[in-house]
């Protein structure tokens, strides 16, 4: 996770992007419990194809996002990177749900869902 203003893209084309000086972006690692899930879907609205990316993860504690414009870098177990959001509108919407188990064997965590809807899918970082 990083502030959207810190991420500069060299180009965006055909679902791929290249980040300029990505090493200098102040990324904040989110320590998730288990693996996160990313779902990609698309539909036609008003003759325009709209893509929705939904990233869901379980965190040990709530992430303070406030009203900041954020982008997320999702890394697969094989090392492939996807950028969810860009420095331009629309920005991803972050919702969090605090889970309190009703049984002693349950897990207490925070489910964070990042939803990004745009005219392009989650961008593959090359």
Query: If 0-12 CB within 10 Å is exposed, 13-18 middle and 19+ buried, where does residue 53 land?
Result: buried
Q: What's residue 55's pLDDT?
A: 93
Q: What's residue 2's pLDDT?
A: 78
Low-confidence stretches of the chain (pLDDT < 70) are 9-24
């Amino acid at each position: 996770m990083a502030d959207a203003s810190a991420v500069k893209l060299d180009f965006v084309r055909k679902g791929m992007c290249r980040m300029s000086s990505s090493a200098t972006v102040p990324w904040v690692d989110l320590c998730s419990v288990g693996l996160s899930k990313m779902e990609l879907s698309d539909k036609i609205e008003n003759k325009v194809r709209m893509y929705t990316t939904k990233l869901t993860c379980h965190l040990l504690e709530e992430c303070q996002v406030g009203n900041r414009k954020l982008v997320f870098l999702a890394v697969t177990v094989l090392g492939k990177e996807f950028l969810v959001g860009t420095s331009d509108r629309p920005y991803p919407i972050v919702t969090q749900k605090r889970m309190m188990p009703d049984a002693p064997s349950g897990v207490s965590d925070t489910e964070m869902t990042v939803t990004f809807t745009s005219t392009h899918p989650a961008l593959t970082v090359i």
